[in-house]
A and B are shown apart, each in its own frame.
Chain A
């Protein structure tokens, strides 16, 4: 069974600092990895999707890397803003099923 772990569980940084969020998974036979954002009381918003054949994806201030062989992904958020405060979840797709981590809750202090 796929196990997805996100460390740290919570993170607080001052505005402007770069964010680094980590995700690890136990089974490297995945189709893709997605990073999601979840605001309180809301559903999940897809941020980036990395196919298993790719090493990274970028969108604006967000960059996600994937090292499938070691079972790791990192989400970088440059120049953080208070609006980036949310919970960030990673999920891996294998056998048509998404397995999620528990998320990292980020607070960006103004």
Chain B
């Protein structure tokens, strides 16, 4: 089966500019996650979707970050405006369900650099 696909792989922008990341989960996976991974650290959850509903966005900085998952398949994560501290790898993952018996499958991520 095809894995989780993310684009772009790399993005370099100046601070205060907007940026968007795209994720296509594994077919049939109804649960989708966005994580942020800072250098030398493990990923931290930003938002979790069950189908098209955001069921956990408690860690999403809502003043500048937004996400959507139209039709419960692809998802987009946006930052506007970007700040220097947003430099990180943004990972998307999907699973068959949010319950504990299903592993999460990760994409290769988008590496964001803010100048």
Contact = CB atoms under 8 A, between A and B. Distances in A.
B99 to A, nearest CB: 8
A43 B37 CA distance: 10
A96 B98 contact: yes
A46 B103 contact: yes
Contacts of A89: 42
Interface residues of B, number: 26
Interface in A45-94: 45-46, 49, 51-52, 89, 91, 93
Interface string B97-113: 01111011111110100
Contacts of A34: 103-104
A4 interface: yes
A100 interface: yes
Contacts, number: 58
Contacts of B103: 34, 46, 49
A100 B108 contact: no
A51 B101 CA distance: 7
B14 interface: no
B56 interface: yes
Which of B42, B45, B103: most chain A Cβ within 10 A? B42
A103 B98 CA distance: 23
Contact of B106 (A4, A41, A45, A99): A45
A interface bracket (residues with beta carbon within 8 Å of B): 20 to 34
B41 A102 contact: yes
B104 A42 contact: no
Interface of A: 4, 31-32, 34, 36, 41-46, 49, 51-52, 89, 91, 93, 96-103
19 contacts: A41-B111, A43-B91, A44-B93, A44-B106, A46-B106, A51-B100, A52-B100, A96-B48, A96-B55, A96-B56, A97-B48, A98-B33, A98-B45, A99-B42, A100-B42, A100-B43, A100-B44, A102-B41, A102-B42
Interface of B: 4, 6, 33, 40-45, 48, 55-56, 91, 93, 98-101, 103-109, 111
